[in-house]
Amino acid sequence: MTAVEPERMGFFTDTSVCIGCKACEVACKEWNHVPDDHQGLTGFSYDNTVGLGANTWRHVAFIEQQRPVDVDREGMRWLMASDVCKHCTHAACLDVCPTGSLFRTEFGTVVVQEDVCNGCGYCVPACPYGVIDKREDDGRVWKCTLCYDRLRDDLEPACAKACPTESIQFGPLEEMRERAGDRLRELQTAGIDGAQLYGDDPDDGVGGQGSIFLLLDEPEVYGLPPDPVVCTRDLPAMWGRAGLASVGLLAGAALAFMRRR
């Protein structure tokens, strides 16, 4: 009997219902034994973890905006969003890893094997989102695994399990894309200006993300690149051109050798 391949799994994060409780951050740290990052309040925001890193695999951003309420008044709007690794379809971190530490799982996610990582750091600048990072005390890289161990036991990731508002949803990626589209239309019908999807286009610069977000403002407001591009996308063509150039050089050398004889 032929084994059935698992579906590609992913996240849909609906920032419109995120309350900033950071339950996802805590659940991620507890389940994956991620060390404390020893950060307190910065004085600029209630966001105490600042951004994704080797010791923060889920990051809840707090974004405070001054917006006009009417002609004479301004009001405060809070945007909250739980960010995570995008588990790209075309993952540059995976492409540049020389040891095979990074691999794609049967669920379509990208995972680091810490016992294989040699700390070269090539993957760090390769990520267009700044997700993957080195841990200072051991020099190896770490990031979200999408709770690979839980997936193998048919459990949802710890962050999605802990989210009290279902801001973080998990399931087959195509289903997540459909849910995201339905939710976007719902908000647009309700007149929510600025609502848009991020990472849902399979023809974007990374071939589509495994983590789709519904945002209430432009991606830059959340610290997300508006047009992410995998830096290794041209590698096959480059290798092809290099191969042709090598053939040309060899042919020229052989011709020169024959003429000398």
Encode pLDDT of 53-109 as tens digits: 999 999 999 998 887 766 677 788 889 999 999 999 999 999 999 999 999 999 999
Widest pairwise Cα distance in the chain = 90
> Residue 49 in 3-state DSSP?
coil
**What separation in angstroms does the CA of 165 have from each of 21, 110, 131, 159?**
10, 26, 25, 12
- Residue pair 127/93 in contact (Cβ under 8 Å)? The answer is yes
d(C-alpha 108, C-alpha 185), whole Å:
27
DSSP class of 69: S
Each residue of 129-180: pLDDT tens digit?
Answer: 999 999 988 899 999 999 999 999 999 999 999 999 999 999 999 999 999 9
pLDDT surpassing 50 at residue 211: yes
Q: pTM for the whole thing?
A: 0.84
Radius of gyration of the chain (CA): 22
pLDDT surpassing 60 at residue 1: no
260 — pLDDT class (breaks 50, 70, 90): low
- The letter for the amino acid at 227 is D
pLDDT mean across residues, the chain: 88
pLDDT surpassing 60 at residue 14: yes
Tracing tokens 């908000």 back to the chain, one arrives at 187
Length of the chain: 261
User: 75: Cβ–Cβ under 8 A, 6 or more apart, which residues?
Assistant: 66, 67, 68, 69
